[in-house]
Every structure is written in structure tokens, then in C-alpha cells.
Amino acid sequence: MGLRLPRAYERNPSGKSRCEDDMKKGFTTGTAAAAAAKAAAMLLARGRKRCPAGYVEIPIPGNKRLRVRVHSARLLDQGPAPLATASVVKDAGGDPDVTDGLEIVARVKRLGSTGDIEIRGGEGVGVVTRPGLQIPVGEPAINPVPREMIREAVREVLPEAGVEVEISVPEGRRIAAKTFNQRLGIVGGISIIGTTGIVEPMSIEALKATIRCEIDVAWEEIRHSRSPLFLAPGRIGEDALKRLFGDIRVVQMSNFAGVALEYAREKGVSGIVLGGHPGKL
């Protein structure tokens, strides 16, 4: 099944979307990484110095395909281990995502005529430092679905070759400071994420997913102790709880107390401490 996102990734010279509808769809950092990887792999497969077209088409979850604009692509080395690089500019559509407009770069090296696809994280891609996430500690924060998308995209043009794919984000370290990554124990850059390949303009759902993710990390830290789970609506509540209980992990739940409490119950959390401004509680 083919899928087009009309104007979601077509930008005018000012850099703004031509589509004035704030509800337009975009694509994930995982999609950007997979598309960049395929564009670079195409150069290796065909021995060309430049990408033959301005777009690549990649498979995305749900048995769909997506056509994505390539920002840049070039063949760097045609030697025994040929190397190519390509990039895609992330378009979040109508979602207020801090990663919108980031350049996602894939550096693809052919290692042999047969072999596996190795996926690495480069500059600007965070590294996982705490348990509880989908990726093991010490690994680059490239989630399972994007990893599979990258493999599938590369295999469409290099079906058997041994390949190394390095994903980097030149501005990733700077942008990561504006995300929840530090709280989740992801350091040094952003995460390459996405479960469908498409960004729906639903920032509320994204926030709920982040709250659940923070609870996952907190639960891994307290599950074998008698420590409760600490929840707060925002910074005031978090600061108050830390003044009372010391250096603890506090999950900020915004206005989604029901979401946080229900998910904590599903995880089996037996003790919860809520802290916050009286007006919030």
C-alpha cells in the first residue's frame, strides 16, 4: 500500500510548510533515518556519486510505503569498503516537536558481499545509561522499530551485503537539552524513535507516552526496594518532593494524573507519593 503525505514535507524557501493546516501529518526521526540510509545504500549499489532522484520510497509499519525527500547524498569512497552518506530533514507536520527541521544523517559502509546490517549511533544520537527502556544500557538510543525500518530500507537495495549504518544528528546534542532524554537517562543527543513511521499531530498523546516511559524507568529503580513512586504535576511539585525526601526520581505527570496512576497500577506499583501545588492537586 502506498502512502503519500501531501505537502507534509514540501517546504517553501522560507522553510515553512506550504500547508496551512495545523493538523497535517509528518514523519518520525526513525523514518528520516531509514530514508537517509536507503539513499546512501542506493549510491553504494549503483556506484553513483549523487542520488539519482530527490526522493526515496521506504517501507513503514502497517505494510505501507512512504516517499521521502532526500536533503543530500554523496558517495565518499569507492575503495574496498565503499562508503556513502545521505541526509533527510525531519518534518514533524503539525506536531509541535523540537526535532522538526533537524537533519538526520546516515553514513553507510559496505563491509562485504554477504553479512548482517550493523546499526551504530554517531554524533548527536543519545546513549542509554539507565535500565527500563526498550534499548539496553550502553546502546545508542535508536528504538527497535526504527532499527527494523533501517534494515528493511537498506535490504531493498543491498539484499545480502554486509553493511554498517551509522546514524548521526549534527544538532542532536543541542536539541536534546529541550527534551525529556536527560530525565530518562539518555545522554549526548536525541533518540531515533517512532512506532508507525508517521507523526500524527497529537502532542497530547506524545506527552502521555513520555509519562509512561518515565514511569518505566522509575519502576526499574524502585521495584526491588520499598521506595514509593513519586509523582508531581510539574516543577513546583518536583522541587517540593526533593526538599522533603532528598535526591529522588520524580515523574512529572502534567495534568494527566489519571494516566500516570492507571499505568502505575498496571506496572504493579504499590506505593505512590503525590506532591504539588494545592491548586494542581
- pLDDT at position 53: 63
CB atoms within 10 A of CB 91: 28
| CATH annotation of 204-280 | 3.40.50
Please state which CATH class domain 26-199 belongs to. Answer: alpha beta
Residue ranges of the chain that CATH labels 3.40.50: 204-280
Angle (CA) 76 57 101, round 5°: 70
Average pLDDT rounded to a whole number, residues 227-252: 92
The length of the chain in residues reads 281
Nearest to 159 by CA among 113, 120, 118, 119: 113
pLDDT for the residue numbered 50 = 65
pLDDT for position 11: 37
High-pLDDT (> 90) share of the chain, %: 68
In angstroms, the CA 154 to CA 36 distance is 10
What pLDDT does residue 206 have?
A: 76
pLDDT above 50 for 248: yes
Confidence band of 180 (pLDDT split at 50, 70, 90): confident
Angle at 35 between CA 136 and CA 95, to 5 degrees: 80
Residues of the chain with CATH 3.30.2110.10: 26-199
pTM of this structure: 0.73
Retrieve residue 2's grid coordinates: 502506498
